[in-house]
Chain A
């Protein structure tokens, strides 16, 4: 018995009056939606992913895209997605893979939080006139400072831990070479160098094209240890141990062999065409003591000159886990919320495991403060930061800085079609096919990403000025400048935020 086909996800149509048969759609669609036959452009809508590459390249706006062109009988429980997933698994008996972040319509806490501004009783600050201090230092801060006095000279006696100096509290998160293309990574690297901030390398090693920007990279060491050797560790400005990822907490990653081309192979230091498998745990870390050992091992290998970050997925007990990490000699803890992006994750994980970054950051900041160890680690928030408002709210909830991922990719052309795992990204981002990769000009790409970081930085300054704050430290963990709008009492308590009007 055949299950037949499921309806089209998208319908593409061409306004034939507008179309001038320039063939840009045919050339640009890597999924093969368009073909020319008998001087007519034919359309196979079933292949469309809604990546918008054709639409963005059409000089006549002649292409139309309609989502879900076929109705099902509507039902509140048996959604289209529920039905289609069952049909898929009835056919295959397999785990469903999906790209990008969490696609379930959970309430977005950021959108239920509002920021404060000054009126009458204290003046707002004009960032055009007054300096706004956005410089952010990531790493341990001393609990107290000791000085020695010598004939009027004052010298610092306390030994300071290495910190990363950021010109803006926005960094680009870890997207490995392999998951994304070299031109995409190079664009991000040039962008962070231009804007005085940092990017993560992901767990794919570092391609030599990135070496000129290595002072702006945070090198990642994950459970697969791909591309990790002493040279790699020494190249990064900081080192990050990846324990978990918001899009798929608790499980590892598999870069399929098709994506392991010769360049990816030598960067990851694995044979060509072989699956790059990152196990779920680090098999040398089975306890919090083992984590401390790896943190110290990395510091020892690099002469205690580099900050070491530990990245975890936001899960139920995130605050207690972060407090453990704070005691491991780590310099920063990265919390990746359940909306964090990914090239590929089992859908059931992407959509159902983990907690929102807003609640996680607030809980971690509170726990570290309660235990008097907030100065021991910086807190970096990531996973679904969409704009400068999310950035400002994350900092007010207790983050020192944020990582952006998907937002930076959108600045490179990504339209969040979620087909990253197929390796055919028409924007040249999540692919290793040379003809697609060359669609990104790293110089132009880096300018777009740098523009985005610059724009958010300007908006953050304006938001702070309006709130009468002239330094990022005054915003950090400042819950007083947030109010919850239509949030329940339980969540307001977790966030330590008052209700609007209160």
Chain B
């Protein structure tokens, strides 16, 4: 049975009443919400649980989907600071670019950004148990991508430019997970504790579903990306600080 979505015109609305409306709607069983005229409202979907799809037309403010656990947000516009911050589960599909600290400390779910992201993308992402966070970026990223990363996957396709990332500090302090970047990444761009390894046919096989899902979501032909022309960056050690200290 097709149910009409709940459509909310959020023009000029403060985030607190907006989130309250969303929460109440989800609690009453609404599964499809459309927000129109979004302009800078922070914290949309913050801490939200449940099986709901939220379509965001416009540009949401910072911490979109922070602590979110389950819902799917599709954003037809750019996103601000730290979408997917400390997100537990669910999806953010951003049909634009996003600011700094995208997917900061994300523990589960997927954040797909069609365009570019700023500094510190995927910083301190971590995986645990059945949870495996994925940050995929269609464009490029600024410095400190995947810094302190403790688990999950960061994929950067660099559509329109190769290599996909030209900024420094990739994976500094990384101690879990992997960063996969289109093209051959200059090792000088890697941070302390990160190392580059060959991207193999097995890796491609493993990541093909992610690449295909990303491309399908944004209407991109996946074929040009299904080869082994990637750099795979992993931790040099799961204990980056083990050798730094001595006892008193």
A95's partner among B120, B129, B245 (CB-CB below 8 A) is B245
Contact A271 B239 (CB under 8 A): no
A279: chain B residues within 8 A (beta carbon): 124, 147-148, 173
Classify chain B: how many residues form its interface, as a range.
35 or more
Nearest opposing residue in chain B for A422, CB measure: B247
- Contacting residues, chain A, for B163 (C-beta < 8 A): none
Contact partners of B66 in chain A: CB under 8 A: 297, 301
Asked if B225 is at the interface of the complex by the 8 Å CB criterion, the answer is no
User: Smallest distance from the beta carbon of A189 to chain B beta carbons, Å?
Assistant: 24
B101 within 8 A of A: yes
Q: Is the CB–CB distance between A293 and B247 below 8 Å? A: no
CA distance A275 to B151 in the complex (A): 12
Query: How many residues of chain A are within 8 Å of chain B by beta carbon?
Result: 47
The residues in A between 128 and 145 inclusive whose CB is less than 8 angstroms from any CB of B are none
Tell me, rounded to whole Å, the shortest Cβ–Cβ distance linking B67 to chain A.
5
Interface centre among A91, A99, A257, A422 (most CB of B within 10 A): A257
Chain A residues, Cβ within 8 Å of B131:
269
Residues of A within 8 A of B244 (CB): 94-95
Partner of B248, one of A97, A224, A229, A284: A97
With beta carbons under 8 angstroms apart, the residue of A96, A294, A302 that contacts B47 is A302
Binary CB contact string for chain B from 54 to 69 against chain A (1 if under 8 A, 0 otherwise):
0000000011001111
> What are the residues of chain B within 8 A of A302 when measuring CB–CB?
47
Closest Cβ–Cβ distance, residue A105 to chain B (whole Å): 16
> B46: CB under 8 A from chain A?
yes
> Which of A301, A302, A346 neighbours the largest number of chain B CB atoms within 10 Å of its CB?
A301
Q: Is B53 among interface residues, defined by CB-CB distance under 8 A?
A: no
Q: Pick the contact of A225 from B124, B129, B151 — CB < 8 Å?
A: B124
Q: Which of these, B42, B124, B238, B247, contacts A274 with CB under 8 Å?
A: B238
Contacts A277-B150, A283-B123, A302-B47 hold; do A296 and B175 have CB atoms under 8 A apart?
no
Pick out which of these stretches binds chain A: B5-13, B82-90, B153-161. B82-90
Chain B hits for A294, CB < 8 A: 63
Residues A266 and B129 in contact, CB atoms below 8 Å apart: yes
Cα separation A225 to B101 with both chains bound (whole Å)? 14
Against A, the Cβ 8 Å flags (1 = close, 0 = not) of B89-119 are: 0000000000001001101000000000000
For the complex, is B3 an interface residue (Cβ under 8 Å from A)? no
Q: Which residue of B has the minimal Cβ distance to A81? A: B248
Interface residues of A in 65-108 (CB under 8 A from B): 88-89, 91-92, 94-99
Cβ contact within 8 Å between B246 and A275:
no
Is B69 a contact of A271 with CB atoms below 8 Å?
no
Known: A97-B247, A224-B124. A297 touches B241 (CB 8 A): no
The answer to whether B126 has its CB under 8 Å from any CB of chain A is yes
Q: What are 7 inter-chain pairs, A to B, with CB distance below 8 A?
A: A95-B246, A96-B248, A97-B246, A230-B49, A256-B239, A257-B242, A275-B175
Question: With A228-B86, A269-B131 given, can you name 15 additional A-B contacts, CB distance below 8 Å?
Answer: A97-B248, A98-B248, A224-B105, A228-B105, A229-B86, A229-B88, A230-B68, A230-B69, A269-B126, A270-B150, A277-B124, A279-B148, A284-B63, A293-B62, A297-B66
B: which residues have CB within 8 A of A?
A: 15-16, 19-20, 23, 42-43, 46-47, 49, 62-63, 66-69, 81-82, 85-86, 88, 101, 104-105, 107, 120, 123-124, 126-129, 131, 147-148, 150-151, 173, 175-176, 238-248
